[in-house]
Structure 1
Amino acid sequence: MDVSLALKSAAMVAGLSDLRLPVSGFASHALVFGRPLIVSSGQAADSFRVSYHGAEVASGYFSGSTNKLLVFDGISISVSPASDEDIVNAVSEAVLACNPQLASFEVELAEDDLARRLLEAGAIERREDRLIVRPESLFQQSKPWLGSTRPAYPEVPVLTNGIHHPQRPPKPVGRVYSRFIPWLNTQLGFHVADLDSDLEHFHRWMNDPHVAAIWEDSGDLCYHRDFIASRLTDPRTLPLIGTFDGVPFGYFELYWAKEDRIGPHYEADGFDRGWHVAIGEDGFRGKAFVSAWLPSLMHYMFLADARTRRIVGEPIHHHAQQIRNLDRSGFAKVKHIQFPHKKALLVMLLRERFFMDRLLSPDLTGLSDENDQPVLGSLPRSGA
């Protein structure tokens, strides 16, 4: 099966050899098959290969200074559980994530059935006689990052404490999101907090003076066990643990805004979602890390339910660094809210803003790799 990709961009790079991939390869679809599809450079100049568990499942090369083609020599679906759609999407993710200056690219598919399936999923789109891959559409495919295509949970209205809202789906378990971060060359993941495996580091984080100053939830092990347990049983909340390469670094608490304390303070939609964060490990602070977990968390919330149009937050009004991070990540400042325990700033991120402005690719200007080159995955922006 031959697949060729013709790359185009508003500011096209000089040649396809300028396209970058990590030396050790780009790991895609990590949650789908247990092991990721690895997209890496081949032995020949301007070539690439896709492998699964050490076995090659596709190969190709970058060709043509005029036509800008990314050509697949072949795709094999006999040596891995990956479909031809998965393999094309994995290569597309690797190209776009590592080279976000590409606004889109054309794809020519030898198999009409493959093209039909990708069109039906929205991974590609047709413009006259051309097939186009755009990051705005590709990054709304849930399977590569969530491990499956999520159906919409039935919208059944319920009443909780006098609040009319949609009935919430059962809580997921285990790992719910995985994304390869090219500038860190590592895998970021979120999993649902587990009382046995996550209690010890959660307890340590919440007793850290920097975290306790914001959360005000320091306490003994029993208190923190009850804390996590209450979040797991509350239909409104989803407690997550973030990891880099499997190492836990922070706690993320998601909530449905409609029935949360924030809901009465604005016209909350039934699928608006909000979040709280506690970064517990000092070794995972700084621009390179926050630029990985923050947009990835937003990505997860938008993918988890396609009806989520807005994500809200309520940082304490004087937390200047957090508000700067939110501002850089596309959140609009709406207004101040006076809660009984704090004065907060209501911030809001629109689904359209996140995907159309390609905010999954952060501006990492000033960060360089070991060869003093700009890090992979940076999309410089001149303004808001």
Structure 2
Amino acid sequence: MDVSLAIRSDGTAEKSFDLRLPLSGFESSVLACDQPLIISARPAPGSFRVEHHGVTVASGHLSGTTANLLIFDTISTAASSLPGEDIVNAVSEAVLACNPQLDCFEIELADGGLATRLAEAGAIERRGDRLIVRPQSFFQQAKSWLGSVPRSYPEVPVLTNGALHPQRPPKPVGRVYSRFIPWLNTQLGFHVADIETDLPHFHRWMNDPRVAAIWEDSGDLSYHRDFIAGRLADPRTLPLIGTFGGVPFGYFELYWAKEDRIGPHYEADGYDRGWHVAIGEDDFRGKAFVSAWLPSLMHYMFLADPRTRRIVGEPIHHHAQQIRNLDRSGFAKVKHIQFPHKKALLVMLLRERFFMDRLLSPDLSGLSTEDGQPVLGSLARGA
């Protein structure tokens, strides 16, 4: 169930559409480990409010006859000690995530300094005296999902097993990414695997026949403890656990392609990244869930280092469902690769394709809410 706010459509005084928000509010994780900002509709038509710890920290409304215009009536940064940028970004995230059919919208701010800071970060763009929010640039604002702006680690060449590649940064710990999924009305998160906390469910997943058939890594608890420890110690890999609403559901292994086994099979760049996945919980399978975690994982990899221009994958060549999912997510089929243990299909996703085609918003045509409306966050695309 969701609520709708009236907003004018760009360039048309007569035509309008409903801006949709979850009935319980959109939970932005822009504040990282703090309580989320909740963006919800107010009783007055076209109005919204932003709450933090149950206190209203901002309010505004949607208006305009020649543009999609979002006006902030109040932003209470002094009382809340919250940066104005975080409040504005939280509202922009809610608008774009729940209504991806918007190509852009205009924003009105009374605080010129705040507008300047947002423009300098690329969260908004100046067009004359107008302030425009575009999804292509907004969704590259790493702090909204990573909790901070990652620094580019110094580029120092090192040699590993004959492959010359950049020295890799120290591993992060804890949560690395969080995003509210409108059509599931819950938070998706990725955190770095913790041996003590994550070993029990990782062990169960790897011994599940469906997972073991692909990974071939079934074993006892000691084997899986060493497995995670090895991935944490290897500079090439980053083992992540995915959660929906705090519930672990899958294992995601990221790797730097240059020094990986895939590197010699194409002209790998120093910051190309790849990934492997094992979905361990049956309750989190299906289109609604894969359409949440797959683009979000790509989003994380592109945000974690702005020098990452391409993401690659190597699904086994006959895994038709996985290849269809990758195709829908913007991956191009490059060629087949013969590894010692499998024949794989090399697939590749370009940074430009991901952001310019707004692939963070999936096409969920065919899925609907309980009251028969299309699910929140779906961006219908042609074949």
TM bracket (short chain): over 0.9
Q: Return the alpha-carbon distance in structure 1 between the equivalents of residues 86 and 210 of structure 2.
A: 42
Structure 1: give runs of 5+ residues left out of the alignment. 1-5
1:137 aligned partner: 137
| Residues 199 and 10 of structure 1: CA distance in aligned 2, closer, same or farther (over 3 Å) | farther
| Residues 328 and 135 of structure 1: CA distance in aligned 2, closer, same or farther (over 3 Å) | same
RMSD: 1.6
C-alpha displacement at 1:45, in angstroms? 2.4
C-alpha displacement at 1:130, in angstroms? 2.1
Is the CA contact 1:158–1:165 (under 8 Å) kept in the aligned structure 2? yes
C-alpha displacement at 1:34, in angstroms? 1.6
1:341 aligned partner: 341
Deviation per CA, 1:40-94: give whole Å up to 9, x if none: 1112222110011111100112234555432221001134342111111111110
Q: Return the alpha-carbon distance in structure 1 between the equivalents of residues 351 and 13 of structure 2.
A: 27
Is the CA contact 1:8–1:103 (under 8 Å) kept in the aligned structure 2? no
Is the CA contact 2:364–2:378 (under 8 Å) kept in the aligned structure 1? yes
Which amino acid counterpart does residue 145 of structure 1 have in structure 2?
A: W
Deviation per CA, 1:250-276: give whole Å up to 9, x if none: 000000000000000000000000000
Counterpart secondary structure, 2:21: coil
Q: Return the alpha-carbon distance in structure 1 between the equivalents of residues 255 and 292 of structure 2.
A: 21
Q: Does 1:304 align with 2:273?
A: no
Q: Does 1:199 align with 2:199?
A: yes
Q: Return the alpha-carbon distance in structure 2 between the equivalents of residues 221 and 240 of structure 1.
A: 18
2:322 aligned partner: 322
Deviation per CA, 1:146-189: give whole Å up to 9, x if none: 00011111111111112110000000000000000000000000
Counterpart secondary structure, 2:225: helix
1:267 aligned partner: 267
C-alpha displacement at 1:131, in angstroms? 1.9
Q: Does 1:89 align with 2:102?
A: no
Deviates more, 1:318-327 or 1:31-40: 31-40
Q: Return the alpha-carbon distance in structure 2 between the equivalents of residues 32 and 197 of structure 1.
A: 21
Q: Return the alpha-carbon distance in structure 1 between the equivalents of residues 144 and 274 of structure 2.
A: 23
Q: Return the alpha-carbon distance in structure 1 between the equivalents of residues 311 and 78 of structure 2.
A: 41
1:234 aligned partner: 234
Q: Return the alpha-carbon distance in structure 2 between the equivalents of residues 355 and 134 of structure 1.
A: 10
Counterparts of 1:270-281 in structure 2, within 5 Å, are 270-281=270-281
Which amino acid counterpart does residue 163 of structure 1 have in structure 2?
A: A
| Residues 375 and 12 of structure 1: CA distance in aligned 2, closer, same or farther (over 3 Å) | farther
Is the CA contact 2:29–2:144 (under 8 Å) kept in the aligned structure 1? yes
Is the CA contact 1:147–1:177 (under 8 Å) kept in the aligned structure 2? yes
1:15 aligned partner: 16
Q: Return the alpha-carbon distance in structure 2 between the equivalents of residues 12 and 32 of structure 1.
A: 39
Is the CA contact 1:49–1:59 (under 8 Å) kept in the aligned structure 2? yes
2:126 aligned partner: 126
Q: Return the alpha-carbon distance in structure 2 between the equivalents of residues 14 and 187 of structure 1.
A: 33
| Residues 68 and 238 of structure 1: CA distance in aligned 2, closer, same or farther (over 3 Å) | closer
Counterparts of 1:175-190 in structure 2, within 5 Å, are 175-190=175-190
Q: Return the alpha-carbon distance in structure 2 between the equivalents of residues 279 and 379 of structure 1.
A: 25
C-alpha displacement at 1:13, in angstroms? 9.6
Which amino acid counterpart does residue 238 of structure 2 have in structure 1?
A: L
| Residues 98 and 208 of structure 1: CA distance in aligned 2, closer, same or farther (over 3 Å) | same
1:378 aligned partner: 378
Counterpart secondary structure, 1:187: strand
C-alpha displacement at 1:31, in angstroms? 5.0
1:171 aligned partner: 171
Q: Return the alpha-carbon distance in structure 1 between the equivalents of residues 316 and 13 of structure 2.
A: 42
User: Could you tell me the percent identity over the aligned residues?
Assistant: 79
Counterparts of 1:17-36 in structure 2, within 5 Å, are 18-30=18-30, 32-36=32-36
Q: Return the alpha-carbon distance in structure 1 between the equivalents of residues 12 and 187 of structure 2.
A: 29
C-alpha displacement at 1:7, in angstroms? 6.6
1:291 aligned partner: 291
Is the CA contact 1:15–1:68 (under 8 Å) kept in the aligned structure 2? no
| Residues 281 and 11 of structure 1: CA distance in aligned 2, closer, same or farther (over 3 Å) | farther
C-alpha displacement at 1:354, in angstroms? 0.1
Q: Return the alpha-carbon distance in structure 1 between the equivalents of residues 131 and 148 of structure 2.
A: 24
Q: Return the alpha-carbon distance in structure 2 between the equivalents of residues 255 and 91 of structure 1.
A: 33
| Residues 11 and 154 of structure 1: CA distance in aligned 2, closer, same or farther (over 3 Å) | farther
Is the CA contact 2:271–2:307 (under 8 Å) kept in the aligned structure 1? yes
Counterpart secondary structure, 2:165: strand
Q: Return the alpha-carbon distance in structure 2 between the equivalents of residues 115 and 77 of structure 1.
A: 14
Counterpart secondary structure, 1:19: strand
Deviation per CA, 1:304-361: give whole Å up to 9, x if none: 0000000000000010000000000000000000000000000000000000000000
1:153 aligned partner: 153
Q: Return the alpha-carbon distance in structure 2 between the equivalents of residues 363 and 79 of structure 1.
A: 40
TM-score by length of 2: 0.95
Which amino acid counterpart does residue 252 of structure 1 have in structure 2?
A: F
1:3 aligned partner: none
| Residues 10 and 140 of structure 1: CA distance in aligned 2, closer, same or farther (over 3 Å) | farther
Is the CA contact 1:241–1:250 (under 8 Å) kept in the aligned structure 2? yes
TM-score by length of 1: 0.95
C-alpha displacement at 1:8, in angstroms? 5.3
Counterpart secondary structure, 1:230: helix
| Residues 171 and 152 of structure 1: CA distance in aligned 2, closer, same or farther (over 3 Å) | same
| Residues 323 and 316 of structure 1: CA distance in aligned 2, closer, same or farther (over 3 Å) | same
Counterpart secondary structure, 1:366: coil
Counterpart secondary structure, 2:217: coil
